[in-house]
Amino acid sequence: MINKYRRTINKEFEKSSFWPTFTDMIATVLMVIMLILFSSESITGSVEKDLAKSINDSVKNTLKDNGLNVLIDEKSGLVTFGESTLFDVDSYELKQEAKEMLKIFIPRYVEALYSNYEGNISKIVIKGHTDDVGSYLYNLDLSQKRAYSVATFIVGEEIGDYKYKDKVLKDIEAIGRSEAELIKNTDGTINKDASRRVELMYEIDVD
Task: Parse the chain into domains and list their residue ranges.
Answer: 45-204
Percent of the chain with pLDDT over 90: 50
pLDDT at 182 over 90: yes
What is the rounded average pLDDT of the residues 178-186? 95
Q: Using 50, 70 and 90 to split pLDDT, how confident is the model at 154?
A: very high
**Whole-angstrom distance, CA of residue 105 vs CA of residue 98:** 10
What is the rounded average pLDDT of the residues 159-178? 96
pLDDT at 143 over 50: yes
C-alpha dist (Å) from residue 33 to 75, 117, 127, 143, 206? 29, 26, 35, 41, 17
Architecture of 45-204 per CATH?
A: 2-Layer Sandwich (3.30)
pLDDT at 59 over 70: no
pLDDT at 18 over 60: no
C-alpha dist (Å) from residue 12 to 1, 8, 20? 17, 6, 14
Q: Give the side-chain half-sphere CA count within 13 A for 160.
A: 9
Q: Using 50, 70 and 90 to split pLDDT, how confident is the model at 108?
A: confident
What's the confidence (pLDDT) of residue 12?
55
Tell me phi and psi for residue 126, to 5 degrees. Answer: -105, 120
**Whole-angstrom distance, CA of residue 167 vs CA of residue 178:** 28
Q: Using 50, 70 and 90 to split pLDDT, how confident is the model at 190?
A: very high
What's the confidence (pLDDT) of residue 129?
97
| Cα 145-110-131 angle, rounded to 5 deg | 30
What is the rounded average pLDDT of the residues 49-75? 69
Mean pLDDT of the chain: 81
What is the rounded average pLDDT of the residues 36-52? 59
pTM of the model: 0.73
pLDDT at 17 over 60: no
Q: Using 50, 70 and 90 to split pLDDT, how confident is the model at 205?
A: confident
What's the confidence (pLDDT) of residue 73?
80
What's the confidence (pLDDT) of residue 111?
86
C-alpha dist (Å) from residue 204 to 34, 48, 111, 114, 157? 21, 8, 15, 11, 27
What's the confidence (pLDDT) of residue 40?
47
What's the confidence (pLDDT) of residue 119?
81
**Whole-angstrom distance, CA of residue 183 vs CA of residue 162:** 33
